[in-house]
Amino acid sequence: MNALKTVTTAVVLALAAITMASAASDYAMSPTPEDQKWLLPATPPAPADNQPNAARVELGKMLFFDPRLSSDSNMSCASCHSPLFGWSDGLGTARGTKSKVLGRASPTVVNTGYNTIHMWDGRKATLEDQAMGPMESMDEMAMDLSALFKWLNTSPGYQTAFKKAYPGEAIDAKTLSKSIASFERTVVSNESPFDRWLHGDAKAMTAEQVRGFRLFTDAGKGNCAACHQAPNFTDNGFHNIGLASYDKPSPDVGRFAIKPVKSLKGAFKTPTLRDIELTAPYFHDGSAKTLMEVVEHYNRGGVSKTDLSPEMKPLNLTREEMQAIVAFMQALTTPPKPFTLPALPPQ
């Protein structure tokens, strides 16, 4: 009886292996020339008047982690964009001043330097544009800007740092924004198993992960790359993906509030998938706890059909295909490196 059981188990495993091998053979398991479009430039682009250098990055890092840039001196940019949580915060939706629960999740800072538009609703055009946003918002850091710049202009440590970073320029919103943006451009993920595979390391990804990539890019299967485009896994566009929260009374209309075009009702910016494994929960409303929940949402073609983007339709993926796509997204994580917090000026 035990021998029969052993043989049966072996047959089942062999059949499973044959099935997986057959499915994998439908796709190229090695990178193709077309796949090279997914390789990111080594560094993000920067405007001519804010080319990065060590002094600018160090100043931006100090400001990014300094809670004194908030009204209660207890919140910094890093409170919502922490290296501990993939440069997000691990929460469904962000917390603002006095722990106020906000309506949207904190997007990751990872690879934002490659983006051409910023924020869930695209209201900021550049990293420099968005840097002051949380300080200006009365729901977020709620900072008195006149008090902020009075302090920065009298702080010996910051006076020295600004002078090194932007000699001859004032300590004001412009230089503060430029320095924070300079630091944010250093938060880059481009050394993941997927990147190593693209560079020719055949063993960097598993067969399941490679198959997941092929399903991800296959217009007749996952079709994920229609929106999560090369090389940063975003089209920098806006889509209503049919989240259940859009059926609630007075839903968040997203991009429509900034650009009142009917096709943008309930549409939110496509986020990068780089380091996505580190930034749960997912979606702008934090409604998906796992990557599998994300893929299941797309597989059913969304929940709310109101103002649904035309890209959204049922995918009819099998469980194994969904698992392969999840496995691929897990291959987009760059191994973490030690991160040193900045030393802040004492006053």
State the pLDDT at residue 126. Answer: 97
The answer to whether the Cα torsion of 58, 91, 288, 242 is positive or negative is: negative
DSSP class of residue 285? T
**Residue carrying the six token digits 């053979």:** 25
Q: What integer pLDDT is reported at residue 25 of this predicted model?
A: 55
Q: Which of 228, 215, 227 is nearest to 311 (CA)?
A: 227
Which one, of 112, 81, 113, 111, lies nearest residue 94 by Cα? Answer: 81
Q: What is the DSSP string of 255-282?
A: GGGTS--GGGTTBEEPPP-TTGGGS-SB
H or E element at residue 239: strand 238-239
Active site includes 184?
Answer: no
pLDDT at 6: 46
What is the DSSP-derived secondary structure letter of residue 10?
H
Place of tokens 């962000």: 94
In sequence order, what are the beta bridge partners of 124? 118
What is the C-alpha separation between 101 and 118, in angstroms, rounded? 21
Any residues with CB less than 8 A from the CB of 228 and at least 6 apart, and which?
216, 234, 235, 270, 272, 273
The tens place of each residue's pLDDT in the chain, 347 residues long, gives 444 444 444 444 444 444 444 444 578 899 999 999 999 999 999 999 999 999 999 999 999 999 999 999 999 999 999 999 999 999 999 999 999 999 999 999 999 999 999 999 999 999 999 999 999 999 999 999 999 999 999 999 999 999 999 999 999 999 999 999 999 999 999 999 999 999 999 999 999 999 999 999 999 999 999 999 999 999 999 999 999 999 999 999 999 999 999 999 999 999 999 999 999 999 999 999 999 999 999 999 999 999 999 999 999 999 999 999 999 999 999 999 999 999 999 98
Indicate which residue of 140, 184, 208, 321 is catalytic. Answer: 140
User: So what's the pLDDT on residue 186?
Assistant: 98
Question: What is the Cα–Cα distance from 325 to 323, expressed in whole angstroms?
Answer: 5
pLDDT of 27 reads: 84
